[in-house]
Amino acid sequence: MSRQAPRDKPETEAGSSLLMRLATSSALLALAVVMIAIIFFHAMRGEIFESAFQSPLRDWSATIAGHIGSDPGKAQAVARTHKVGIIISTADGNYAFGPDGEPADADQLLEDTSRFRRIDVHVQHGEHGGQLQYSFMLDKEQFDDNRNPLLFSLVVLLLVTIGLAYARQLHLLRPLKWLRSGVEAVSEGDFSTRVPVVRNDEIGKVARSFNQMTARVREMMDDRERLLADVSHELRSPLARIKVALELLPEGDKRDSISQDIRGMESLTTALLEREQVRSQSSHTNPQRINLVTLAAEVIDGFSAPPGVQLNVPPQNLSITGDAALIRILIQNLVDNAIKFSLDDSLPVEVSLLGTDDGVQIIVDDDGEGIPADLADKIFEPFVKLNPARGHRAGYGLGLNLCQRIVQAQGGSIEIQQREPRGTRVLLNLKK
């Protein structure tokens, strides 16, 4: 018992985009880096960093205290220059200066622990001098003022670095966009597409393999088409000789049966040659301005078989740029297909022409049995006939394939829709 492989889960356009994922990852990385930088700078005010700088601050304070001695003038000058509060405790009392160099209340400086970081040192002046206590009040606000520009500069530098890294990623992944465009073109039947190969890395190797694959597939398809065309062409001569020999046979059921088979073979070879002709003309189109209303009327005038054809056109003319011969074959095949598969009680086939913003629409409605929705795309394949769906064995399954080829050559689209209560609608969109 075979085991069916699980299907991939469908993803949204945003969720399936590698570029969107890279952008999201870069944004999250930038946010994380900024948060780490902010936490780091805030931690610099904490006990860990303060403890780490405790010993150098004491050495600095002792040096400054030795310079000041017991001279209030020097203490005031140091306070003003270095923006620190200074308290000097002597046997005769205390005197203090604020970070601005002005005399201040020592007790008030000591109590303001939220603003100041306190460093105490004791210095002995001279062999017989007394020991003085110096309290240096480091202003935390001054530290914040110096820290914020540094923090801002670091954040900007990190964001610029991440932005440059993201731009580099986009540059490296640009060949993937070209490869995606190539895959989409191949999925639409354009096997002549090639993607640029600008690097020799893994992506470049994939692009080179893709080009080789499309070239090989195009070559195989050309060989198949050429074989069909050559065989069809070569069959005409023996068929002509068989027809001549058939005329020498006496009339009867056997002769009629052989004649019917020959007509069927002639019809098939004609269809195959017409298919090759359309393929050749699609590669070498002769674009010109076409009055679609006039062209459609000329084609429909050639159909008189029941249930008939009705043409619905706007009051103004509709013009498109394209190959008139291909457009004629397109409309003729669609109308012929609709009439061929109509029922005895079907309403007339309706051909409607509508103008759109960027082109025209051709709508062919029939009143036949219709086509199941799950088989609507399959009928565009060559030699495919959905007999159970429409109750007929006529044709060779090439008509709609020809139509699809012509529409693709004109840069348009073709779609099969079900009608209610029965019938089929063929919707064409052609560009101006």
Q: Residue 236 belongs to a domain with what CATH number? A: 1.10.287.130
Q: Specify whether 36 is located in the same domain as 75.
A: yes
Cα(405)–Cα(279) distance, rounded to whole angstroms?
Answer: 7
Q: Specify whether 59 is located in the same domain as 140.
A: yes
∠ Cα 339 340 345 (to 5°): 65
Query: Does residue 200 form part of some domain?
Result: no
Q: Specify whether 60 is located in the same domain as 111.
A: yes
Q: Specify whether 52 is located in the same domain as 123.
A: yes
User: If residue 311 lies in a helix (H) or strand (E), which one and from where to where?
Assistant: strand 309-312
Q: Specify whether 129 is located in the same domain as 256.
A: no
Q: Specify whether 276 is located in the same domain as 290.
A: no
CB count, 10 Å around CB of 96? 23
Contact between residue 135 and residue 89 where contact means Cβ atoms under 8 Å apart: yes
Q: Specify whether 259 is located in the same domain as 319.
A: no
Residues spanned by the domain of 44: 13-187
Query: Does residue 198 form part of some domain?
Result: no
Q: Give the chain's domain count.
A: 3
Nearest in space to 423 (alpha carbons), one of 343, 358, 317, 305: 343
Query: Does residue 46 form part of some domain?
Result: yes
Q: Specify whether 247 is located in the same domain as 116.
A: no
Of 282, 307, 327, which residue is a domain's last?
Answer: 282
Q: What is the 8-class DSSP label of residue 373?
A: G
pTM: 0.46
Cα(330)–Cα(278) distance, rounded to whole angstroms?
Answer: 10
Of 267, 282, 297, which residue is a domain's last?
Answer: 282
Q: Is the peptide bond before 307 cis (omega within 30 degrees of 0)?
A: yes
Contact between residue 133 and residue 91 where contact means Cβ atoms under 8 Å apart: no
pLDDT in tens, the chain (432 residues): 334 434 444 444 444 466 676 677 777 777 777 777 777 666 555 554 555 556 777 777 788 888 888 788 888 888 888 888 888 887 777 888 888 888 888 888 888 777 777 888 887 765 555 678 888 888 766 655 555 666 677 777 777 887 787 787 777 778 888 888 888 888 777 778 888 888 787 878 888 888 888 888 888 877 766 776 666 667 777 777 777 777 777 777 777 777 777 776 776 676 666 666 666 555 555 678 888 989 999 999 888 888 889 999 887 788 888 888 788 888 988 898 888 888 888 899 999 999 888 889 999 999 888 877 777 777 777 666 665 444 444 555 667 877 888 888 777 888 888 888 888 999 999 887
Q: What is the 8-class DSSP label of residue 46?
A: S
Q: Specify whether 328 is located in the same domain as 275.
A: no
